[in-house]
Amino acid sequence: MIRSVASTPVAEVYRLLETQPQGLTQDQANRMRQRFGPNAIRAVSGRAAHGPPPKGGEIAGSATH
């Protein structure tokens, strides 16, 4: 059974996540990139997810009743 992170000792969380307080080493980062792909946000519906927030009219136009 998976324990809650809040009740897991810090050292165990680092071990489970394969990291350390200083972050990943370059070798670890390279392995993660090979395993999971680049650390990037994909576009959503043709718009970049990191762009400016939508204006009120854009939100209202997408709302349904």
Which pLDDT does position 11 carry in this prediction?
A: 93
d(CA 8, CA 2): 10
Tens of pLDDT, residue by residue over 20-52, are 899 888 998 899 899 989 888 877 766 555 666
pLDDT in tens, 4-18: 778 899 999 888 888
Q: Which amino acid is at 24?
A: L
Q: Is 47 helix (H, G, I), strand (E, B) or coil?
A: strand
Which of the pair, 29 or 2, is modelled with greater confidence?
Answer: 29
Q: Which residue has the tokens 């809650």?
A: 4
Q: What is the pTM of this model?
A: 0.43
| Confidence tier at 1 by pLDDT (50, 70, 90) | very low
C-alpha to C-alpha distance for 2 and 57, rounded to whole angstroms: 44
Q: 44 has which bridge partners?
A: 47
